[in-house]
């Protein structure tokens, strides 16, 4: 400990930093960007929390980026050797670690200084008080921004064991190492960090005058927060106070083909087509065969989703948040009718589909906003089947898959397809199961010509094939 | 203690409740209504926190109502006699208190069962474990709703003294009682409660399986949260984790009269008129004379607010959240032009001004939503002067004054007027200071005829008088 103290004294002077930058300090700090620094030993759930927080903040409009100190460390070392790297008296390794810490910190600070960026998350152990003081000094004092610490504390042996296993599976450092050896190395690495670990103090001993939140046992043990003040900090506290599962599978489906789908109409509250009805039966059969424990079904309040899930034996919840994007004055029109009656609206929509709002209706951004409470609840659940609609499922999947905003309105979410989303490490995996029941395609890709004065032909070029009326489909089915 | 325990055993059996109701239990609890029960000794800041939470939740769309147990108690007692009322062995008084508790609880539960209502706050000491179990039993088990406890703990002697003084000023119980006598009575009342007080336990001793948040020293000492799970609970935690001042004065002003105001145009980014410029000078002089410590000025990003505050010596922040309601395709039009070009839009707006959204523009509800982060910050500040716009100030004042939603778009916020808002007890007081500088009136009240086929005359009946062009005003001023 005394040696490590000496190293800190020599090495951690801010003036020794490689890249001294000058920053324009904001006059008032209230609405400044925020640096969140994670604190805690390895295997305490810092990285998954940082990742989840990043996903949530970005989706809800605060542009956020994680800076992972261990990735900087890896740039300086060809391959991870062993726990020796983390010993307090290993001076050359210490230099690499402190250099990595500073590079990550400075990159995060520089990124935060760019207009529009709101929250940088510095993911790493940050176990020493002097490291935290250095973060505070640069970000709070020099830049005039805001700083918040999130400490992950975990004493639950079961949870620790699970976290360690996850590290062995997902960490680059242990790739290719035998499990037993890796586990031993990880324990020693942990012991080195423990020797250097000073937990940020709260209450009258408050270490630094900025918010500190301690998350106990991944949230299962609750949170202790001190000094939270500021809109983004409160929002973050609300998010991280909820425990979330480490194993999670969610299922999504659009309703079965509706009578409106068959004839190419948007919106409305139509019934299922005969083929849509078949899909409902196939879906119920498929889900039953999975035999999912504690299965729940969440649908919209519209007829076509309720009919689709009707045969599934599980508690069902009907939420208006899951209703299809509301197209206002354009409800129940075909694209051909839309082009005929509202050519300007259709062109505006094609030009910027994400932000475009139907007259007296909604935009994709509106749908994303109204979905946030449902997504927050969904993120804490497993074995939920959500039966909803094309635009809504695009917005929901975009959350889990972190789809770039501008791509959301063009995501491919076909009818008669079950989508399975599974948490894998820090990210979500997606699998699709196409049911062998014919249906129309409702995906209209972005036309090349989105100008206000385009021809009807140009506007309608990407409209998918549909029937003129439902009887036509029924005749076709009878003819088979 | 043992006597009070006996009383509880006799009296607190749920089957002894006066009004046994049957409730329809929801199938899934995730999105059910929420009962928040306050816990804590008198003078710990429960009621102001409950009141603030109610204001915030209502503004942000979760319909919320406080049920104050002491108001029920007062219905059963003609006049508050003394602390004897709160002694554990005062059986007749105990019966009144437990009856009041149950009436408040049942009224809150009944209200929560009505469609649309989201959060009921049961404000009272709820110091005993059996009371909390009764809340849980009724609301969680019988109704299938959600329950959350917020305990206010305060040990800071300065804060306690301040809270006691506030009780003596604002509490109905002590109205007309001499200060010394009241203070003595309050101390004894406190002692009686202390003897019955069992703090809800957390961690492995967790009292009831629902969220508990302990707010320490009004938030100044941080918060400890356990079991927070659910969208509304997280939102509440975020709100209550921030300490807020007990004395607070905020100032508001619209920009000085603009050139657009003079000629009756809406929106845009015009400069100040000569009279608006005079107001800017008068405002700076007035604010300077107040000599406010740590004064800050927050304006919109538009020219007219920045010009209005330019002469004030204080740090200035320019926030786009404070920009005027965006009228999209109707920007920079007069009402006469609006009626000419978009008669249907003007009628729709007059019909439902709160929800009406200008084509490609905003509604009042949109403005309220974008203001929430600014309001959250503003609520923690004092001596801020906000220079903004008519619609935006309506939405801001509506927060502090708890204006019913439908009245918000018609609130009277005239030009050349300083509005002072001061926290008084649990509510805000408003004072207006009209500056003696002439200006146009921009307030257009709701026309009687809001139908789509009304005449132009009917549509324009309430348009306030304005000049045809700015030169006309300048000539008028020169002629004086």
* Cα(B253)–Cα(B276) distance, integer angstroms: 12
Using a pLDDT cut of 90, give the percent of chain A over it. 78
Residue B302 backbone zone (phi > 0: left; psi -120 to 50: alpha; other: beta): beta
Cβ distance A224 to B226 less than 8 Å, yes or no, reads no
Q: Is the ipTM of this complex over 0.95?
A: no
Question: What chain B residue is nearest to A61 in terms of C-alpha separation?
Answer: B370
Model pLDDT, residue B23: 53
Distance from CA of B225 to the nearest CA of A (A): 5
Distance from CA of A172 to the nearest CA of B (A): 33
Q: Catalytic pick from B62, B68, B123, B379?
A: B123
For residue B237, pLDDT beyond 90: yes
CB B218 within 8 A of CB B159: yes
Model pLDDT, residue A480: 75
Q: Which residues of B touch A225 (CB under 8 A)?
A: 222-225, 241
Residue/partner pairs of A267-273 with CB below 8 Å, 24 or more apart: A267/A324, A267/A325, A267/A326, A267/A327, A267/A330, A267/A331, A267/A332, A267/A333, A268/A331, A268/A332, A269/A302, A269/A303, A269/A304, A270/A303, A270/A304, A271/A303, A271/A304, A271/A307, A272/A304, A272/A307, A272/A308, A273/A470, A273/A473
Name residues 363-382 of chain B within 8 A of A (Cβ). Answer: 373, 376-377, 380-381
Model pLDDT, residue A77: 85
- Of A447, A255, A448, the residue nearest A338 (C-alpha): A447
- Of B374, B45, B37, the residue nearest B220 (C-alpha): B45
Which residues fall within 8 angstroms of residue A216, CB to CB, at 6 or more apart? A153, A154, A222, A223, A224
Q: What is the CATH number of domain B249-479?
A: 3.40.50.1240
Report yes or no: B60 at the A interface, CB cutoff 8 Å.
no
Model confidence pLDDT, tens digit, residues A21-51: 455 567 688 899 999 999 999 999 999 999 9
Q: Which residues of B touch A376 (CB under 8 A)?
A: 231, 234
Give the confidence band of B476 by pLDDT, cuts at 50, 70, 90: confident
For residue B17, pLDDT beyond 50: no
Cβ distance B225 to A228 less than 8 Å, yes or no, reads no
Model pLDDT, residue B8: 35
- Clarify whether A123 is annotated catalytic: yes
Report yes or no: A238 at the B interface, CB cutoff 8 Å.
yes
> Which of A202, A223, A319 lies closest to B225 in CB terms?
A223
> Which of A28, A222, A377 lies closest to B225 in CB terms?
A222
Report the mean per-residue pLDDT for chain B: 92
A25-34, A329-338, B280-289: segment of lowest average pLDDT: A25-34
Model pLDDT, residue A23: 53
For residue A354, pLDDT beyond 90: yes
Q: Which residues of A touch B318 (CB under 8 A)?
A: none
Model confidence pLDDT, tens digit, residues B317-326: 999 999 999 9
Residue B219 backbone zone (phi > 0: left; psi -120 to 50: alpha; other: beta): left
For residue A392, pLDDT beyond 60: yes
* Cα(A90)–Cα(B295) distance, integer angstroms: 52
List phi, psi (to 5°) of B111.
-60, -40
Cβ distance A221 to B203 less than 8 Å, yes or no, reads yes
Report yes or no: A470 at the B interface, CB cutoff 8 Å.
no
The answer to whether domain B2-19+30-240 and domain B249-479 are alike in fold is yes
Model confidence pLDDT, tens digit, residues A107-145: 999 999 999 999 999 999 999 999 999 999 999 999 999
CB A132 within 8 A of CB A126: yes
Model confidence pLDDT, tens digit, residues A180-229: 999 899 999 999 999 999 999 887 777 888 999 999 999 999 999 999 98
Model confidence pLDDT, tens digit, residues A424-469: 989 999 999 999 999 999 999 999 999 999 999 999 999 999 999 8
Report yes or no: A242 at the B interface, CB cutoff 8 Å.
yes
pLDDT (mean) for B258-275 = 97
Q: What is the CATH number of domain B2-19+30-240?
A: 3.40.50.300
For residue B415, pLDDT beyond 60: yes
Model confidence pLDDT, tens digit, residues A137-181: 999 999 999 999 999 999 999 999 999 988 888 888 888 889 899
- Clarify whether B255 is annotated catalytic: yes
CA angle A7/A13/A14 to nearest 5° reads 140
Q: What is the pTM of this model?
A: 0.92
Q: Rg (Cα) of chain B, in Å, rounded?
A: 26
Report yes or no: A129 at the B interface, CB cutoff 8 Å.
no
CB A101 within 8 A of CB A34: no
Model pLDDT, residue B18: 41
> Which of B30, B228, B360 lies closest to A241 in CB terms?
B228
B279 HSE (CA, 13 A, CB side)? 30
Model pLDDT, residue A379: 96
Q: What strands, in cross-sheet order, belong to the sheet with B296-299?
A: B316-318, B296-299, B384-388, B249-254, B417-424, B427-434
A222-236, A384-398, B157-171, B208-222: segment of lowest average pLDDT: B157-171
CB A42 within 8 A of CB A193: yes
Cβ distance A225 to B222 less than 8 Å, yes or no, reads yes
Model confidence pLDDT, tens digit, residues A283-304: 999 999 999 999 999 999 999 9
Q: Give the distance, in angstroms, between the CA of residue A238 and the centroid of all CA atoms in the same chain.
A: 16
Report yes or no: B243 at the A interface, CB cutoff 8 Å.
yes
A208: its two tokens: 């630094």
> Which of A222, A228, A315 lies closest to B224 in CB terms?
A222
- Clarify whether B123 is annotated catalytic: yes
> Which of A203, A228, A376 lies closest to B241 in CB terms?
A228
Task: Look up the CATH superfamily of A2-240.
Answer: P-loop containing nucleotide triphosphate hydrolases (3.40.50.300)
Give the pairing type, strands A223-226 and A212-216.
antiparallel
Report yes or no: A268 at the B interface, CB cutoff 8 Å.
no
- Clarify whether B324 is annotated catalytic: yes
pLDDT (mean) for A324-340 = 97
* Cα(A349)–Cα(A335) distance, integer angstroms: 12
Report yes or no: B241 at the A interface, CB cutoff 8 Å.
yes
Q: Which residues of B touch A373 (CB under 8 A)?
A: 31, 231
pLDDT (mean) for B279-303 = 98
Please count the other Cβ atoms lying within 10 Å of the Cβ belonging to residue B184.
14
DSSP state of B320: G
Report yes or no: B200 at the A interface, CB cutoff 8 Å.
no
* Cα(A458)–Cα(B230) distance, integer angstroms: 47
For residue B125, pLDDT beyond 70: yes
Question: What chain B residue is nearest to A204 in terms of C-alpha separation?
Answer: B221
Q: Domain segments of chain B: what residues?
A: 2-19+30-240, 249-479
pLDDT (mean) for B410-417 = 97
Model pLDDT, residue B24: 58
Kindly state the helix (H) or strand (E) to which residue B226 belongs, with its residue range: strand B223-226
For residue A5, pLDDT beyond 50: no
Rounded to the nearest 10 degrees, how much is the dihedral formed by the CA atoms of B7, B8, B11, B12?
Answer: 180
Model confidence pLDDT, tens digit, residues B435-450: 999 999 999 999 999 9
Q: Catalytic pick from A255, A389, A416, A466?
A: A255
A201-215, A265-279, A457-471, B50-64: segment of lowest average pLDDT: A201-215
Model confidence pLDDT, tens digit, residues B186-223: 999 999 999 999 999 887 777 888 999 999 999 999 99
SS3 labels along B338-370: HHHHCHHHHHHHHHCCCCCCCCCCCCHHHHHHH
Model confidence pLDDT, tens digit, residues B304-314: 999 999 999 99
Cβ distance B234 to A27 less than 8 Å, yes or no, reads no
Distance from CA of A394 to the nearest CA of B (A): 22
- Helix H segments across B254-327? 259-263, 274-290, 303-309
């Amino acid at each position: 400990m005394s040696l490590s103290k000496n190293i800190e004294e020599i090495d951690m002077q801010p003036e020794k930093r490689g890249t001294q930058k000058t920053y324009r300090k904001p006059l008032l700090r209230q609405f400044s960007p925020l640096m969140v620094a994670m604190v805690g030993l390895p295997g305490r759930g810092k990285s998954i929390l940082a990742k989840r927080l990043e996903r949530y903040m970005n989706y809800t409009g605060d542009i956020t980026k994680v800076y992972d100190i261990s990735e900087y460390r890896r740039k300086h070392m060809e391959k991870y050797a062993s726990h020796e790297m983390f010993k307090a008296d290993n001076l050359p390794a210490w230099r690499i670690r402190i250099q990595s810490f500073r590079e990550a910190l400075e990159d995060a600070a520089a990124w935060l200084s760019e207009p529009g960026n709101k929250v940088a998350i510095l993911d790493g152990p940050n176990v020493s008080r002097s490291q935290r003081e250095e973060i505070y000094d640069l970000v709070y004092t020099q830049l005039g921004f805001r700083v918040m610490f999130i400490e992950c504390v975990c004493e639950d042996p079961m949870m620790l064991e699970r976290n360690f296993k996850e590290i062995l599976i997902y960490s680059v450092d242990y790739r290719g190492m035998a499990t037993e050896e890796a586990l031993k190395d990880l324990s020693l690495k942990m012991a080195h960090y423990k020797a250097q670990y000073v937990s940020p103090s709260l209450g009258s001993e408050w270490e630094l005058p900025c918010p500190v939140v301690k998350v106990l046992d991944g949230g299962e043990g609750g949170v202790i927060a001190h000094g939270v003040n500021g809109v983004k900090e409160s929002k973050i506290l609300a998010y991280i106070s909820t425990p979330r599962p480490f194993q999670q599978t969610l299922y999504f489906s659009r309703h079965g083909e509706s009578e409106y789908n068959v004839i190419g109409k948007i919106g409305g509250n139509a019934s299922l087509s005969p083929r849509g009805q078949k899909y409902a039966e196939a879906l119920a059969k498929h889900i039953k065969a999975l035999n999912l424990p504690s299965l729940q079904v969440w649908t919209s309040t519209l007829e076509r989703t309720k009919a689709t899930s009707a045969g599934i034996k599980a508690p069902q919840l009907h939420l208006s948040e899951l209703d299809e994007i509301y197209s206002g004055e354009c409800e129940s029109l075909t694209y051909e009718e839309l082009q005929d009656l509202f050519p300007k609206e259709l062109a505006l929509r094609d030009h910027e589909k994400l932000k475009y709002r139907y007259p007296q209706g909604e935009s994709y951004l509106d749908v994303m906003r109204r979905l946030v409470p449902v997504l927050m609840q969904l993120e804490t659940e497993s074995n939920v089947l959500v039966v909803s609609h094309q635009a809504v499922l695009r917005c929901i999947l975009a959350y889990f898959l972190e789809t770039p905003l501008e791509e959301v309105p063009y995501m491919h979410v076909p009818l008669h397809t079950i989508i399975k989303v599974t948490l894998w490490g820090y990210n979500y995996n997606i699998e699709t199961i196409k049911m062998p029941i014919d249906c129309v395609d409702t995906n209209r890709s972005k036309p090349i010509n989105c100008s206000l004065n385009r021809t009807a032909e140009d506007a309608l070029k990407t409209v998918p094939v549909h029937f003129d009326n439902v009887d036509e489909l029924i005749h076709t089915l009878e003819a088979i």
